[in-house]
Chains A and B, each alone.
Chain A
Amino acid sequence: MTAIPDRAPPRFRAGDLLGDERWRGLTIQALALAALGLLGWFLISNLVANLAALGKPIDFSFLWRRAGYDINQRLIPYTSDDPHWRAAVVGMLNTLLVAVLGCIAATIFGVIAGVLRLSRNWLVSLLMAAYVEGFRNVPLVLWIIVTFSVLVHATPAPAAFRGEEAEASMLFGLVAITNRGTYLPRPVWGDGSALLLLVVALSVVAVWVWRRLARRRQEETGQPLPVLWVSLAILLVPPALAFLALGRPLSFDVPAVRETGIANFQGGIAVLNSFMALWLALSLYTGAFIAEIVRAGILSVSRGQTEAAYALGLRPGRTMRLVILPQALRVIVPPLISQFLNLTKNSSLAIAVGYMDIRATLGGITINQTGREFEGMLLLAGFYLTVSLVISGLMNVYNRRVAIKER
């Protein structure tokens, strides 16, 4: 046996920085960092110099100055005397309102369309395919504008609702869709409505407790308890009794058209056409994407799973709930949430119909009035970024919880 002579460790040469795998990574990263630093320095020094030359160094104090403009949809009290930051908050709430309601409606549209597109009924699946392809292949802006035009130009004026033989009638006698806006009934909370709400909350808690009990009993003894009917009873009976016992504390203020003078609706909740158009178009558009996600999710669960569940003796309802849905949801939920994110970002297209979202208040009128483009855009981008990061953070938590445990 010949001993392999110890090789002297190779002397470090400058060329190794690029040629040797051990150093190359570090060299490249150092160069990248240096280039990035230079670029950042270049951009920021330009920015500072440019803003200084224009006489408006970076300064956020404009947020506390008087805004001086009105906002036609406010979820919190606001007048034109309030400061800019309050206008921004009003816009932020408007964005979040249309986003949340849009997500709910889009999910409903999407689930219905996605399930129906898999229907064996040829006509229904054709209709749903037309809906999905029609909305997916035409720009959202166009849909928003068209929906707005339909609401403004193709719905009756309030005057048409007047008189005994009105040309237009209210939907179910409760909702009026007019070219000025949509009017909804408004709940009026009377004395004792707090107690009523408390009863409702207690019923919800009771349902939850009952479901847990039923599940634990089934896991321990194998005997199921009726869940659906008992839940429904708990949910409906006590609130109904409380409603009657408290002397009907909750009533609805139904909008009505003024019969004399200028025809417009009074009472109820007035919803702007810009909001309706944005909300409808966003939910229909996103619904088309969600429909495809739902369809793909259901198709992704192999048929063998259904057959195996039947072979175990599970009935179709339970098969769906216990076997198919948990697996389909794992596929559906992540892209679904990214659709919610898209919807939230797309709500900035409110600009097409003049809905006062945060882009219109902070990123529009405030910038125009104060000339603070940089600060305004920075805050605007920060808002959207925060919403995105929060939602995608939640999604990551979900993904980690439902991930297949690989052994």
Chain B
Amino acid sequence: MSDTHARTVAFSRDTMLPPVPPPVRETGAVRWLRENLLGGPLNVALTVLSLVAIWWALSGFLPWAWRGIWDASSLTECRARRDELYGPGVPAACWAIIAERWPQLVFGFYPQSGYWRPPVALAVFLVAVMPVLFPSLPRRMLWLLPPAPFVIYWLLWGGSLWGPATVAAGFALGWGVWLLARRGGAGAGLALAAGVAAAALWWWWIAGPLAGTLARGVPLALQPVLSKDMGGFTLSFVIGLSAIVLSLPLGVLLALARRSEMPIISTVAVVYIEIIRGVPLIVWLFTAQLLLNYFLPRGTNFDLMLRVIIMVTLFAAAYLAEVIRGGLAALPKGQFEAADALGLGYWQSMRLVVLPQALKISIPGIVNTFIGLFKDTTLVAFIGMFDPIGLTGSIRATTAWNGIYWEPYVFIAIVFFVVCYAMSRYSIWLERRLEREHRPAT
């Protein structure tokens, strides 16, 4: 065979060729372009079409936004400055409305001297939830969590510090009594009853007078602010974040109730979830505004904002329950059985085995629900509260800014986008991290 070869082939190379760089069209930017943008006629057409679309969108928006005028006190002044700078009729944004009205868009009618309070409250909230969101932080930081709601309440609504402080002391007392009773060998039910009773007695008899005395002795008070004075993004954040925090435990309970083996409990949960989910939020908000008082004893009346928070919480809890139920259903049956086999009781097996895994599976859905909830806070504009969208209406109603549309909308859209996008990125990050945890050790 090799003989024949040697005879028929006139030349045969006996040295190795040096490696040659790949052809230009197969490397670097050219290859990327060919594979990603210009592969085949359909791809070229799509690329051209997208370029046209991008050009069309950006050529309208960017010059308009870039030429924006930042210092003016009314739309007429804005227009005059634009005519002076770029000539009449040239599209130019009037960002001056944001520059002038941003305190209102952010704080609503919050007293001006207290503008530092909502941001500080937000910071307290973020610091307190940090250890929950990022498990790599020291566990000791979890101790920041219990006092946070009282501090935030005090910062936002003001008044004497001693009111929220004595309420918090009641919780601490109840918890202490429960702990003591458990240490002393009391049953779970008895210990719980003792704790609740101690806290209730504290709130009923001691908290009020004590707060009064302390306030007279050490007057630590902030200027009180009414709920109706909160507006703008402060309102969105207060409603959104309270509902997020409150709806999660309720959602977990509802999901467990729906999967319960007790027929009455599961029926109640199903009926509740289906009714809440079957009716749009705006109808529930109108119900909170118009009808809630009818269902309470005559003469009862409480804060519209509180009513809205309750309604939004109840609403979001039904959606969360369905998401979490999906997580529970996705869990292999063996996990439940293994927990039973270990002799864990219902609540123990849920807390230690089932829920940690089920909640992990449902993280994307839970965060999506939270994003939806935060976006839905804009609906309160329709029941007469001044969230950012409600405020644009009242700002436009002033003579100075009559006729301005796009600039406030763009501003609000950007803020919502940043917050919601951050939430969805966080959920993706968390999902990846938890997935990694499950990888078998190598």
Contacts and interface: CB of A to CB of B under 8 A. Distances in A.
Nearest to B413: A138
Contact of B51 (A33, A123, A351, A385): A123
B279 A384 contact: yes
Per CB-CB distance, the 10 closest pairs between chain A and chain B, nearest first, are A388-B278, A137-B420, A345-B280, A385-B278, A122-B36, A139-B375, A29-B264, A348-B280, A139-B378, A123-B50
B283 A351 contact: no
B54 A127 contact: yes
B416 A138 contact: yes
A305 interface: no
Interface in B395-442: 405-406, 409, 412-413, 416-417, 420-421, 424
B290 A373 contact: yes
Contact of A377 (B189, B263, B291): B291
Contacts, number: 149
B268 A36 contact: yes
Interface string A14-39: 00001000000100110011001000
B409 A137 contact: no
A363 interface: yes
A119 B37 CA distance: 10
Given A25-B261, A29-B265, A142-B409, A384 B283 contact: yes
Nearest to A383: B279
User: Taking each of A120, A121, A349, which has the highest tally of chain B beta carbons within 10 Å of its own beta carbon?
Assistant: A121
Contacts of A351: 282, 382
B294 A146 contact: no
Interface in A333-378: 345-346, 348-349, 351-352, 359, 363, 367, 373-374, 377
Contacts of B274: 385, 388-389
A53 interface: yes
Given A28-B262, A47-B294, A127 B53 contact: yes
A145 B389 contact: yes
A153 B291 contact: no
Interface in B273-311: 274-275, 277-283, 286-287, 290-291, 293-298
Interface string B250-278: 00000000000111110010000011011
B376 interface: yes
Given A120-B43, A349-B282, 20 more contacts: A32-B265, A50-B294, A50-B295, A50-B298, A121-B47, A127-B53, A137-B424, A139-B389, A141-B389, A142-B412, A345-B280, A351-B282, A351-B382, A363-B286, A373-B291, A377-B286, A377-B290, A377-B291, A381-B279, A388-B277
A25 B262 contact: yes
15 contacts: A46-B298, A50-B294, A124-B47, A127-B54, A137-B420, A137-B424, A138-B413, A139-B375, A142-B413, A345-B280, A367-B290, A380-B283, A384-B279, A388-B277, A388-B278
Contact of A389 (B278, B282, B296): B278
Given A153-B405, A389-B274, A46 B294 contact: yes
Interface string A99-123: 0000000000000000010011111
A43 interface: yes
B62 to A, nearest CB: 15
Contacts of B53: 127
A46 B280 contact: no
A47 B298 contact: no
Contacts of A213: none
B298 A49 contact: yes
A370 to B, nearest CB: 13
A137 B406 CA distance: 18
B161 interface: no
A319 interface: no
A134 B417 contact: yes
B35 interface: yes
User: Taking each of A134, A137, A387, which has the highest tally of chain B beta carbons within 10 Å of its own beta carbon?
Assistant: A137
B371 A345 contact: no
A298 interface: no
A387 to B, nearest CB: 8
A121 B279 CA distance: 41
Query: Binding site of B, secondary structure by majority: helix, strand, loop or mixed?
Result: helix
B137 to A, nearest CB: 27
Nearest to B418: A137
A136 B297 CA distance: 41
Nearest to B423: A137
B39 interface: yes
A25 B406 CA distance: 59
B46 interface: yes
B379 interface: yes
Given A127-B54, A139-B375, A46 B279 contact: no
A197 interface: no
A342 B54 CA distance: 30
A140 interface: yes
B89 to A, nearest CB: 14
Contact of A50 (B275, B293, B371, B409): B293
B222 interface: no
A263 to B, nearest CB: 22
B381 interface: yes
A137 B36 contact: no
Interface string A127-165: 100000110111111100110010001000000000000
User: Taking each of B35, B274, B378, which has the highest tally of chain A beta carbons within 10 Å of its own beta carbon?
Assistant: B378
A384 B405 contact: no
B378 A120 contact: no
Interface in B1-60: 35-37, 39, 43, 46-47, 50-51, 53-54
B326 to A, nearest CB: 11
